[in-house]
Structure 1
Amino acid sequence: AYIARYLGIMLLEGEDLTVSGGRLMVRTVSGLMPIGVLWRRLDAAFADPLELRPDSQIGTPGLVEAIRRGTVSAVNALGSGLIETRALLSFLPRIARELQGDDLKLPSIATWWCGQEAERAHVLANIDRMVVGPALSTRLAFEDDGATRLGSSLSAGERAELVARIEADGAGFVGQEAVTLSTTPVFVGGVLEPRPASLRVYLARTPEGWTVMPGGFARVGFSLDPTAIAMQRGGQAADVWVVSDRPVERETLLPQEHEGFTRTMPGSLPSRAAENLTWLGRYIERSEDTVRVLRAYHVRLAETSDPDMPLLADIRDYLEPFGIEVETAIPQGLIGTLDSAVYSAGQIRDRFSPDGWLALKDLSKTIHKFADTVAPGDDATRAMTVMLRKLAGFSGLLHENMYRFTGWRFLEIGRRLERGIQTARTLSRLTRNGAPEGALDMMLEIGDSVMTHRRQYPVQAGRRTVIDLLALDPLNPRSILFQLERLKAEIGMLPSVGGEGHMSPAAKEILQLNTAIAVMEPSDMSAKVLDDLAGQIGDLYNSLARAYFG
């Protein structure tokens, strides 16, 4: 993400791209946009499931054909990894002399390809001093999940089996000199200890030829085992410093302050990012609603100690279809919703602040900790209050600090959709005819509107006043109408998908829905009307998805 921002290019994943008419396109909320140059970071084999690895779920179908047609240029071209093939290493010294008329500046690991008779015989005769592995592998020996074997570590049976395989299919194997990795000091448990390290250097092609870039990428193992250097096995990255005996001029592509500046507006938002932002908003709002309902439940459970009292039994039956089991103080359904929020945020970490990410991770850590320690009743009530404060803190960070670009609108739309849906569902349940005693007071508590109701209506809570406040009051930020007003405003600001001057289907739907609810009276809003309303708000998401996430 840092490099993409530094260079001013769009950071994309395979599913952000599509091929249409032989051209590579990026899916954005403004429609498909053509790409002329693609800087590939993805492993080549996974780049196109149509022509390369069919099991790849991270590539872009048709990418190879687009490159073949010449409609897109690929930096780090597909197939460039061929140069890292182990079998090729055995020919590098001769290649250097043929092409450059000189020996290698930096010797490579001594390698013998077993597809040649003399080299195969040498490997078999010296197998105890060799590392033997797949000839066509482009991975380092400590990264190929055990496919490479150290001859000196083999038992007699394993050695005989490997020799037989080499004799039967010599072209499939290489033997390499067993080398000891360099070590670097690592601070472990308060002391410095040696750990194996590898250094990858980079070269850049310039008009004057290839230039070795200063520094590099280092990996350090977590133990003395050389296989532990692989990142998949716990290895870690380390800074590489090139020390100079004199001041070094700082180089940057960024304009200096004295050169003036331009304010760069955010570019087109990829559809995948918009979808993840929408679901982040929905998951956070869904979590908050669930926490509010659970807190109201456990407050009453602590007071009565009777989980079978009508109101508590009704809430239990209401939550059960959503995977929320109130018998558990911290239901797995709530944990799963917050985990989903963390996942969605993880897909778009570069689009909100580090503080927001830390706050969300703290939420996840807290809920998992509570799951092991909190009991129903008073204990759960206090835990839910803590969760509400943390949820409010996260929402506040986003609201106050997030740049008001298109991505923020999708996040806000997700929150308003979910709050409208949840409020309509809960209102339908707790204001229906035959609702248990105390249901209206619980609804006001869940809607965080107890004090507002006391100020607005100098009467005891009744069905009409509760519905008026939580469904039809345009000034109450917890009401359904308030959510619809916000949705109308934010959807109206999204990029046009029906041509300039034409309303999108989602904009038409929210306008009709907002108008219909704005002219209703509390007596019009039966339980069925509220249930239907929740479904209609949910349908808005489907319209948005068809327009912007497809």
Structure 2
Amino acid sequence: TYFQTFRNTLIRLSRQNQDDPRIVLLTPGPSNETYFEHAYLASTLGFTLVTGEDLTVRDGYIWLKTIGGLEKVDVIVRRVDDVFCDPLEFREDSQLGVVGLTEVVRQNKVLLISTLGSRILENPGLMAFLPGLCQHLLGEDLILPSVATWWCGQEPERRFVMENIRNLVIRPIYQTQSEKAVLGPSMGEEDVQLWRRKIEAKPFLYVGQEIVEFSTSPSLIHGKMEARNTVLRSYAVADNVNNTYEIMQGGLSRSAPEKGIFLLTNQSGGISKDTWITGTSLMPKVKPPEIKQLKKSQTFIPSSTGENLYWLGRYLERSINLARYLRIVLRQYYEEDSDEPWRDHSMLEILKGLTDLTKSYPGFYNQKVSVEPAKELVELISNYHKPGSLGNTLQSFVRNGYKVRDRLSLDIWRILDSISGEIEELLRAGQELGLIHAVLDRLIIKLMAFVGLNIDTMSREVTWRLVNIGRFIESSINSAHVLHLLTVKHPPEIERHLLETILMTQESLVSYRYKYRSRIEIDGVLELLVKEELNPKSLIYQINHCDEYLNRISKGDRDNKMNEAQKKLLEISTMIRLSEVERLQGITRGHRKELKDLLEKIIRNLSEVSDVIYQTYFTHARDKYAFMSSKLPEL
């Protein structure tokens, strides 16, 4: 009922669009230590999770930049510190806020929950006056006693703090990174004198508080249970129908990361834990409010969210394909038979293909590196700082996943966290290629679990289409790069080995054997991986599905004209359909020129498709620093 009340209260408070107000939750972004809470809250309430770059001020209103254009915002639930909310009014170096937000709030053209300035209630200086305020305003004592606090802006209290400084917590009323609370008993003589000088100079900026004993909660540390200092964070929301407050039954506890730590904040490494209230009987069923007519809200995807979903799909597919390729390379590296000299040449071609795939030149084109490939292989797997490496690609995938956590199911969250753990395992494996191979096995399974859950749980709306457009574009580019191994004529033994390797990287070896029931030949491989419309790993299948999803989200115009991306995809599809396997496998001066030309055109056109998609759907408002009087651009 807490979340129901939260949502209903916001809807009732909205000044515009009372039937279906557009409510967004403003977060600092994935780098913030409480981003998980923001994403979970937005997902639970069904609000759009946004960052400052998703919002813009136009014509005196706040607008959400979506892949379909600008949409007016009615309510903002603020989770960004007020000093970062508007670089025009507060901190000019802030990249987290919205330029002009303050003026829109002043004009009552948007409802801001946690209004600007409400941070003053967190000022520890107020705690010294809470008992008196409660008596003055309510005529009663505090139900929950407040921590004894002495504000140094009053002379008797200042003297008390100075005399008892070693027995108190000294806290600045405006906590900053450079000046934080300090525990009196832990201070040396120099620290005591320093703090006394600070208090004497500006006493109104400091308070002294009694040292209280913390509650503790169990923490699993290196396989053992240990007690850690803990504070409870409870939540209440106003119920403006019944003129009361709805209290969350439970809350979040913040646990210290180490023993003896008394400053429990997420910034200092504090760990959030769910707090449940147990009882001896089942909770009574809550009767849901009567709804006269069920209404489906319109879904809007912020431009930055759309971009992150698109790249989530691309990095997902890139990670899968690269992990498979690397696993095959490691397997063949260990199984290499020195009695068959052609294998050395075949292995070199496969390694060069890996360099082409990752764009990590010179890579295996360097003769010294190709003779002893182990070091370069480890770099391409585990070096997270190396562009194109598996580690670098996985980090990009996880980073984009965390940015859109509010769009993913809880099971997908778990898989994402598990993949993040495997990245650490790759690092721990060091130079041990055998251990790396085992990690790659687990990693591929978890990546495919992510794909499966995506297929099984994600609604077939814009979110699903953006992820899969990214996947199909990336998979097509990868397939074209891998097939490029066949553009040079090789001796029969090497060519058959390359054909088998290509089929394995594309997970199509079993399909080939069932379809052709013969030894592997190039015409069958090209038919299966280029032109077979029922094979999900073929180029034509991927291009067709990419075009299908793009058509469903395309804005187009009123005449239903194709945009440039659709035209490029149609061009690629036509090229593939018009191509003939007999001509693609034809040899001219040791090269398959028609195959090479086709693959290079596909890669080039897909890069252009990606650029057009970016410009059409993900380009944010033209200028971040907009004036209040600027006109709303035509869409």
TM-score, normalised relative to structure 2: 0.73
Change (3 A) 1:475 1:216: closer
Deviates more, 1:427-436 or 1:373-382: 373-382
CA distance in 2, matches of 1:78, 1:362: 38
In structure 2, the residue matched to 1:394 is 450
Matched, 1:530 2:599: yes
Give the drift of 1:99: 5.2
Alpha-carbon distance in 1 for matches of 2:321, 2:487: 17
Q: Secondary structure at the match of 2:50?
A: coil
Moved more, 22-31 or 359-368: 359-368
Match of 1:273 among 298, 305, 311: 305
Distance across 2 between alignment mates of 1:411 and 1:206: 40
**Once the 2 structures are TM-superposed, how far is the Cα of residue 128 of structure 1 from its aligned partner?**
3.2
Q: Do the aligned residues in 1 keep the contact of 2:412 with 2:450 (CA within 8 Å)? A: yes
Which AA in structure 2 matches 1:496? K
Is structure 2 residue 158 aligned with structure 1 residue 120? yes
Q: 1:403 — aligned with what?
A: 459
Aligned partner of 1:73 in structure 2 is 111
- Structure 2 CA distance for aligned equivalents of residues 167 and 83 of structure 1: 25
Do structure 1's residue 286 and structure 2's residue 318 form an aligned pair? yes
**Partner residue of 2:473?**
417
* Deviation, structure 1 residue 290: 1.5
For residues 396-446 of structure 1, what are the alpha-carbon distances to aligned partners after superposition, in whole Å with 9 as ceiling and x for unaligned? 232233221111111111110001101112222332356964434433333
Counterpart position of 1:225: 260
Structure 1 pair 73/352, CA: closer, same or farther in 2 (3 Å)? closer
- The partner residue of 1:507 within 561, 566, 574 is 566
Structure 1 counterpart of 2:260, one-letter code? D
Contact 1:429 / 1:527 at 8 angstroms: preserved in 2?
A: no
Larger mean CA deviation between 457-466 and 46-55 belongs to 457-466
Alignment partner, residue 184 of structure 2: 151
> Does 2:45 match 1:10?
no
Instruction: Name the SS of the counterpart of 2:476 in structure 1.
Output: helix
**Aligned amino acid, residue 213 of structure 2:** L
Residue 375 (structure 2) pairs with residue 340 (structure 1): no
| Match 2:345 to one of 304, 307, 310 | 310
Q: What is residue 357 of structure 1 aligned with on the other side? A: 413
Counterpart among 158, 167, 171 of residue 133 in structure 1: 171
Supply the distance in 1 between the matched residues of 2:88 and 2:435 (Cα, whole angstroms).
55
> Do the aligned residues in 1 keep the contact of 2:312 with 2:467 (CA within 8 Å)?
yes
Is this contact kept in 2: 1:31–1:497, CA < 8 A? Answer: no
Distance 1:378 1:483 in 2: 34
Percent identical: 28
Which position in structure 2 is the counterpart of 1:485?
A: 544
The unaligned stretches of length 5 or more in structure 1 are none
Change in 2 beyond 3 A, CA 1:274/1:185: closer
2:11 corresponding residue in structure 1: none
Would the aligned equivalents of 1:114 and 1:175 in 2 still touch at CA under 8 Å? yes
Residues 1:379 and 1:508: Cα distance change in structure 2 (over 3 Å) = same
1:492 is matched by which residue type in structure 2?
N
SS of residue in 2 equivalent to 1:74: strand
C-alpha root-mean-square deviation of aligned residues, in Å?
A: 3.8
Residue 407 to residue 102, structure 1, CA distance change in 2 (3 Å): same
The one-letter code matched in structure 2 to 1:155 is G
- Once the two structures are superposed, residues 345-385 of structure 1 have per-residue CA deviations (whole angstroms, 9 ceiling, x without a partner) of 22223333333333344444446435655988888767655
1:124 and 1:382 map into 2 onto residues whose CA distance is: 62
1:196·1:221 contact (CA, 8 Å) conserved in 2?
A: yes
Structure 2 contact 234–248 (Cα < 8 Å) conserved:
no
Contact persistence 1:196–1:225 (CA under 8 A): no
1:307, distance to aligned residue in structure 2 (A): 11
Distance in 2 separating the partners of 1:456 and 1:190: 55
Are the counterparts in 2 of residues 17 and 25 from structure 1 also a CA contact under 8 Å?
yes
| CA spacing shift, 1:125–1:375, aligned 2, 3 Å | closer
Cα 1:263–1:405, aligned 2, differ >3 Å: closer, same or farther?
farther
Deviation at 1:21? 3.0
The match for 2:535 among 439, 461, 476 is 476
Secondary structure in 1 aligned to 2:549?
helix
Aligned-partner residue type, residue 46 of structure 1: F
Question: 2:417 and 2:230 mapped to 1: Cα distance?
Answer: 32
**Does 2:273 align with 1:237?**
yes
Residue 547 of structure 1, CA deviation? 1.5
Q: Is it true that 1:327 corresponds to 2:374 in the alignment?
A: yes
* Aligned match for 1:539, one of 604, 608, 619: 608
Given that 2:480 and 2:599 are in contact with CA atoms closer than 8 Å, whether structure 1 keeps it comes out as yes
| Matched residue type, 1:166 | I
**Among residues 56, 80, 92, which one is paired with 1:42 in the alignment?**
80
SS of residue in 2 equivalent to 1:71: coil
Counterpart residue number, 1:300: 332
Aligned amino acid, residue 404 of structure 2: I
Give the C-alpha shift of residue 210 in structure 1.
5.6
Q: 1:41 to 1:499 in 2, by over 3 A?
A: farther
Structure 2 distance, partners of 1:448, 1:191, is 45
Q: Displacement of 1:300 after TM fit?
A: 3.4
How far did 1:78 drift?
Answer: 1.1
Q: Return the alpha-carbon distance in structure 1 between the equivalents of residues 168 and 514 of structure 2.
A: 84
C-alpha displacement of 1:161:
1.7
For 2:490 and 2:179, how far apart are their aligned partners in 1? 67
Relative to structure 1, is the Cα distance of residues 307 and 213 closer, same or farther in structure 2, using a 3 angstrom cutoff? farther
Distance in 1 (alpha carbons) for counterparts of 2:408 and 2:203: 53
Cα 1:63–1:508 change in 2 (3 A) is farther
Matched to 1:399, the amino acid is I
Q: Check whether the contact 2:481–2:599 (CA below 8 A) recurs between aligned residues.
A: yes
By relative contact order (CA 8 Å, sep 6+), the higher-ranking structure is: 2
Q: Higher mean Cα deviation, 85-94 or 420-429?
A: 85-94
Cα pair 2:168 2:211 within 8 Å, conserved: no
In the aligned structure 2, how far is the partner of 1:418 from the partner of 1:194?
A: 46
1:431-477, CA deviations, whole angstroms, 9 ceiling, x for partnerless residues? 23569644344333333334544566688655555434322332322
How far does residue 182 in structure 1 lie from its aligned partner after superposition? 4.5
What TM-score results when the alignment is normalised by the length of structure 1?
A: 0.83
- C-alpha change, 1:500 and 1:116, in structure 2 (3 Å) is farther
- What's the offset of the Cα at 1:226? 5.0
2:628 matched to which residue of 1?
Answer: none
Cα distance in structure 2, aligned partners of 1:281 and 1:29 = 17
Relative to structure 1, the CA distance from residue 291 to residue 83 in structure 2 (aligned partners, 3 Å threshold; closer, same or farther) is: closer
- Amino acid aligned to 1:538: S
Question: Structure 1 residues 116, 424: CA separation in 2 closer, same or farther (over 3 Å shift)?
Answer: same
Matched, 1:33 2:71: yes
Change (3 A) 1:46 1:498: farther
Question: What SS does structure 2 have at the residue aligned with 1:475?
Answer: coil
Distance 2:437 2:53 in 1: 42
Aligned-residue offset at 1:491: 0.4
Q: Does 2:207 match 1:175?
A: yes
Q: Secondary structure at the match of 1:132?
A: strand
1:274-329 deviations in whole A, cap 9, x for unaligned?
22222222122112222332244334331335899222222323323624886256
What is the CA deviation profile of residues 7-41 of structure 1, one whole-angstrom value per residue up to 9, with x for unaligned ones?
44333333332223332112222221110111112
Mapped to 2, the partners of 1:171 and 1:497 lie a distance apart of 62
Given residue 507 of structure 1, which amino acid in structure 2 is its aligned partner?
A: Q
Q: Show the counterpart of 2:575.
A: 516
Does the Cα contact within 8 Å between 1:214 and 1:242 map onto a contact in 2? Answer: no
Structure 1 residue 494: deviation in Å? 0.5
**Structure 2 gaps, min length 5:** 1-38, 365-372, 383-388, 585-593, 620-635
Residue aligned with 1:38, SS: strand
CA distance in 2, matches of 1:107, 1:368: 45
Q: Structure 1 stretch 188-197 or stretch 159-168: which is displaced more?
A: 188-197
Alignment partner for residue 111 of structure 1, among 119, 129, 149? 149
Contact 1:299 1:377 in 2 (8 A): no
